[in-house]
A and B are shown apart, each in its own frame.
Chain A
Amino acid sequence: MVGTWWPIAKAEFLVRTVKLRRARKILYPGLIAVSVLVVLFGIPNIVSFFLAAYGAGFELLLATSLPGLMRTMMLVIWLMVLIIPLSNSLENLKTDQWDILFSSNVKTRDILFGTYLGKVPVYGLITLVLSSIIVAPFVYAYNVSILGQLLMYAVIILFGLATIWISNVVSTALHAKIGQSPRGDDIAKALSWAMIPIMFLPSMAAIYWTDSIVSMMGLEISMLLPSTWVADFLTWISVSESSLLPSSIANILNYWFQISPVISLTLFCGFAIAVYVLGFRGADSLFTLSSGLGSSKVTTVGKENIGIRGVRRIFGAEFGIIVATSLKDYTRKLQNVAKISYATFLSLMVPLLLATGPLTNVVDDPIFIPIMSCLSIGMMLGIFGGVVFGGIGLLDSHDQLWILKGAPGGILKFIAARVLSYMMLASFIAFLPSVFTGFLLQFTISTTMLMFVYIYVIIASGIFIGVGITAFNPSYDDTSSSSFTINTVATILITMISLMVGLIPGVLIAITQGAIAPALTISAIPAPIVGLIILCVGTFKLNISEVV
């Protein structure tokens, strides 16, 4: 008889492939077949087509630098396979199924193994497709044999499976420690946002700020990462199974390999065995529902700060309460704070990149750099404004909507208060990168102020667009809903298009007339107009809509 892990794996698989629904039995094998075709023929041909366009010189350069590139790409793929399932599972914190499982006398390690096995068909397929992007340049540069390619895919898939296992263990342990409650849900969502910068940005920054990817990845420190062991072993397979001359193979191995491929393989196998053993052995102690991160902590609100008291005074007795409530509700959610911090952090990276990256030699340009900074930070924060303040930030549930609709003019007051409170928060988000950029790139005070105004207008436009779209098609607190996906894509696209419409004449003015103020003014005009129209349409629709 099959163990209790089997029905758990089956349920997990059904949840992960819910979009295929009833046609799952046909569509999933079809998806595998398409993926295999894409991996074996599609991606290698596309990669070869593009790489061939650069000529023989580039091919030689590629052949010599590929081992270093492999370490970088494996690091990126490793982090993606680790973070994406972790981040997804934290977005939807659910532990109430565990009560059912534990009451059915299921062992913790069966839950762990079952959920892992259920995730493998989906994330394994993603790993396979991603891995073909790594394998294809090797096939092109080294002319790797079919056996070599199959071995490379096998190693990458094994590595992917071990990574999915780590992700599964960590996410299950986090779910158990956080616990399912409104506060726990908020903590988990905040963590899901924090995962991306914590794990991705250091590697991205390392890639950007080094003079050469190759030299960076040759550093000894990268040898501590499992992704490097796998990358080196893959390099060894590809050169061993290539049409290269033995002397070329020896040169590559001597230049790149600090440790022998056998040690890399041993380290990788040891790593994989260790993560499986540790996961199973730690199952019972890790996965006891404990609400350890304070998910059931009772928070008592204190006296209102001067800012909130000021808001009440400015907006009058009744509307002031609604605006103040909106500010409190939004800023007390950890997930919102995490999103705003993430957006601000990314916007601070722009001037850093301009000041210390490859554009350092043009930093003194009095027109190019201010315009470039404003447009890139504006574009980034405009899109973030829409996604962070629209989306799931607007309305929590149908029932909340009923309460608002139950009051005379409730929806209009609510949306107006939400937008005003978001615009207040936007001033802080616009202020930090403007001042930081002005200071770092030595802008004049007037240029810094212009930058602040431009960025603020663009964030406000993003807010209008995001709130308007969410009001038009509420997604409530459900990030797995189709409404949420549609709203997010629509918000990003509309914000980008409306920014681009202004950006083109703005840049032309900057180039032809060399004037910053007119260029930024022209660039900033279309987005708020589009945003206000969408906001009005969305509010009107929400006001008259019938929610069942």
Chain B
Amino acid sequence: MARNGSVIYTEELNKNFGSVQAVRNLDLEVFSGSRFGFLGPNGAGKTTTVRMLSGLLKQTSGSALVCGFDVSTQRNDIKAITGLLPESPGLYSKLSAVEFLEFIGALNKLSGESLHKRIDALLGMLGLEGRRNDLLESYSSGMKQKVLVASTLLHEPKLVFLDEPTSRLDPSASVLVKDLILVLAEETETSFFICTHQTSFAEDVCDVIGILNDGRLTTVGAPQEIVDQLGVSDLEDAYLKIVGGQIDREKLLSWRQ
């Protein structure tokens, strides 16, 4: 099943939680150096897909290759060359940013001068150098998100899974993360798999978009391609047309009666 040039390749990938089918027959191919945007409503199965592809969850059926490694049998190899930014911050409140990043580095077999140089550079770039030794309990949610972004990139992963990377960030920090993704993809061939609800972010950053609805991949293509295909003005309209969710004005006021 190994494919030249692809970092993710799945065939008939399924995941069930009891009677709930979270992901249904997912066939997907993501190419090296690309920025794949995974859109879908809450509970569509985006996070479950990311967790299967990063070797954290076992699929119920089907198969997947990530960077040439099988998700069923080579999980540790996948973890070593991928980075995962989880949806919400699971930081250690009693560690400083530097200590937390040192810890993440050590888990990924990094240590010494090179690790510290990398930590300093990342914290400086993300505007956290002044707070580097403060305990994370005193950080705002945006600052915590920046630390998580740094921890995801610390070991220079070949493929990065980002789950809602900018949901807690202010506009300037969002632009910074956006630029970081673009420059890493263009200059270092790093691939990104980004789950997001923000269609404008996906439109700006991603070169390929996949829309997942009720566990099923319904649309895949370049953002403009999807917009043109559906005859709408932007990706948000395309998303709403596929997923649904537009409610007329009369219904919006009906609760007042």
A-side residues, CB < 8 A to B, are: 181-183, 186, 296-302, 317-322, 325, 328-329, 332-333, 396-410, 413-414, 546, 548
Give residues of chain B (107-160) contacting chain A, Cβ–Cβ below 8 Å.
Answer: 107-112, 133-135, 137-138, 151
Residue of A nearest to B103 (CB): A325
Distance in angstroms between the alpha carbons of A285 and B106 in the assembled complex: 49
Judge whether B95 and A328 touch: CB under 8 Å.
yes
Q: Which of B103, B108, B133 contacts A300 (CB 8 A)?
A: B133
Closest 8 CB pairs of A and B: A399-B90, A400-B90, A407-B107, A182-B137, A321-B106, A317-B111, A332-B94, A408-B76
Judge whether B138 and A403 touch: CB under 8 Å.
no
| Residues in B whose Cβ lies below 8 Å from that of A401 | 90
In the complex, whether B220 has a CB less than 8 A from a CB of chain A is no
Q: Which of A297, A325, A397, A407 contacts B90 (CB 8 A)?
A: A397
Distance in angstroms between the alpha carbons of A169 and B56 in the assembled complex: 46
| Residues in A whose Cβ lies below 8 Å from that of B218 | none
Judge whether A396 and B138 touch: CB under 8 Å.
no
Judge whether A181 and B106 touch: CB under 8 Å.
no
Residue of A nearest to B77 (CB): A408
Distance in angstroms between the alpha carbons of A546 and B58 in the assembled complex: 8
Judge whether A403 and B76 touch: CB under 8 Å.
no
Distance in angstroms between the alpha carbons of A280 and B81 in the assembled complex: 61
In the complex, whether B196 has a CB less than 8 A from a CB of chain A is no
Residue of A nearest to B98 (CB): A301
Closest CB in chain A relative to B227 CB, distance in Å: 34
Judge whether B90 and A298 touch: CB under 8 Å.
no
Judge whether A403 and B90 touch: CB under 8 Å.
yes
A to B CB contacts below 8 Å, 27 in the list: A183-B138, A301-B133, A301-B135, A317-B111, A318-B106, A318-B111, A321-B102, A325-B99, A325-B100, A325-B106, A329-B95, A396-B92, A397-B90, A398-B90, A399-B86, A399-B89, A400-B91, A400-B92, A402-B51, A402-B56, A403-B104, A403-B151, A406-B83, A406-B84, A407-B79, A408-B80, A408-B108
Distance in angstroms between the alpha carbons of A329 and B151 in the assembled complex: 17
Distance in angstroms between the alpha carbons of A186 and B56 in the assembled complex: 30
| Residues in B whose Cβ lies below 8 Å from that of A403 | 84, 86, 90, 104, 151
Residue of A nearest to B22 (CB): A548
| Residues in B whose Cβ lies below 8 Å from that of A333 | 94
B-side residues, CB < 8 A to A, are: 17, 48, 51, 54, 56-58, 76-77, 79-80, 82-84, 86-96, 99-100, 102-112, 133-135, 137-138, 151
| Residues in B whose Cβ lies below 8 Å from that of A408 | 76-77, 79-80, 108-109
Distance in angstroms between the alpha carbons of A403 and B76 in the assembled complex: 14
| Residues in B whose Cβ lies below 8 Å from that of A413 | 106-107
Given contacts A325-B92, A396-B90, contact A299 B111 (CB under 8 A): no
Residue of B nearest to A399 (CB): B90
Dominant secondary structure of chain A at its interface with chain B: helix
| Residues in B whose Cβ lies below 8 Å from that of A182 | 93, 137
Distance in angstroms between the alpha carbons of A328 and B51 in the assembled complex: 29
Given contacts A317-B111, A321-B102, A402-B86, contact A329 B138 (CB under 8 A): no
Judge whether A406 and B54 touch: CB under 8 Å.
yes
Q: Which of B88, B94, B102, B109 contacts A399 (CB 8 A)?
A: B88
Q: Which of B76, B94, B110 contacts A328 (CB 8 A)?
A: B94
Closest CB in chain A relative to B80 CB, distance in Å: 5
Q: Which of A183, A317, A402 contacts B84 (CB 8 A)?
A: A402
Judge whether A297 and B138 touch: CB under 8 Å.
yes
| Residues in B whose Cβ lies below 8 Å from that of A332 | 94-95, 135
Given contacts A319-B106, A407-B104, A408-B80, contact A298 B138 (CB under 8 A): yes
Dominant secondary structure of chain B at its interface with chain A: mixed
| Interface contacts beyond A298-B134, A299-B135, A325-B95: sample of 6 additional A-B pairs, CB < 8 Å, sorted by A | A183-B137, A183-B138, A320-B106, A325-B106, A402-B51, A405-B56
Judge whether A329 and B107 touch: CB under 8 Å.
no
Judge whether A322 and B106 touch: CB under 8 Å.
yes
Judge whether B92 and A409 touch: CB under 8 Å.
no
Greatest chain B CB density within 10 A among A397, A406, A410 is at: A406
Distance in angstroms between the alpha carbons of A400 and B134 in the assembled complex: 19
| Residues in A whose Cβ lies below 8 Å from that of B17 | 548
Distance in angstroms between the alpha carbons of A480 and B213 in the assembled complex: 35
Judge whether A407 and B99 touch: CB under 8 Å.
no
Judge whether B86 and A325 touch: CB under 8 Å.
no
Distance in angstroms between the alpha carbons of A298 and B133 in the assembled complex: 10
Distance in angstroms between the alpha carbons of A298 and B112 in the assembled complex: 28
Residue of B nearest to A297 (CB): B138
Residue of B nearest to A303 (CB): B133
Judge whether B90 and A322 touch: CB under 8 Å.
no
Residue of A nearest to B106 (CB): A321
Distance in angstroms between the alpha carbons of A410 and B92 in the assembled complex: 15
Distance in angstroms between the alpha carbons of A320 and B110 in the assembled complex: 12
| Residues in A whose Cβ lies below 8 Å from that of B90 | 396-403
Closest CB in chain B relative to A334 CB, distance in Å: 10
Closest CB in chain B relative to A541 CB, distance in Å: 14
| Residues in B whose Cβ lies below 8 Å from that of A300 | 96, 133-135
Distance in angstroms between the alpha carbons of A139 and B108 in the assembled complex: 69
| Residues in A whose Cβ lies below 8 Å from that of B87 | 399
Judge whether B99 and A328 touch: CB under 8 Å.
yes
Residue of B nearest to A326 (CB): B103
Distance in angstroms between the alpha carbons of A320 and B87 in the assembled complex: 29
Distance in angstroms between the alpha carbons of A536 and B71 in the assembled complex: 25
Q: Which of B79, B83, B138 contacts A410 (CB 8 A)?
A: B79
Distance in angstroms between the alpha carbons of A333 and B77 in the assembled complex: 35
Q: Which of A297, A329, A402 contacts B94 (CB 8 A)?
A: A329
Judge whether B103 and A296 touch: CB under 8 Å.
no
| Residues in B whose Cβ lies below 8 Å from that of A398 | 90
Closest CB in chain A relative to B215 CB, distance in Å: 14
| Residues in B whose Cβ lies below 8 Å from that of A329 | 92, 94-95
| Residues in A whose Cβ lies below 8 Å from that of B84 | 402-403, 406
Residue of A nearest to B97 (CB): A301
Judge whether A322 and B107 touch: CB under 8 Å.
yes
Distance in angstroms between the alpha carbons of A409 and B138 in the assembled complex: 30
Judge whether B111 and A321 touch: CB under 8 Å.
yes
| Residues in A whose Cβ lies below 8 Å from that of B103 | 321-322, 325
Closest CB in chain A relative to B94 CB, distance in Å: 4
Residue of B nearest to A401 (CB): B90
Closest CB in chain B relative to A399 CB, distance in Å: 3
| Residues in A whose Cβ lies below 8 Å from that of B58 | 546
| Residues in A whose Cβ lies below 8 Å from that of B79 | 406-408, 410
| Residues in A whose Cβ lies below 8 Å from that of B80 | 408
Given contacts A299-B134, A406-B56, A410-B79, contact A318 B110 (CB under 8 A): yes
| Residues in A whose Cβ lies below 8 Å from that of B112 | 317
Distance in angstroms between the alpha carbons of A409 and B109 in the assembled complex: 10
Distance in angstroms between the alpha carbons of A254 and B212 in the assembled complex: 84
Closest CB in chain B relative to A338 CB, distance in Å: 14
Distance in angstroms between the alpha carbons of A112 and B77 in the assembled complex: 56
| Residues in A whose Cβ lies below 8 Å from that of B77 | 408
Greatest chain A CB density within 10 A among B54, B88, B92, B107 is at: B107
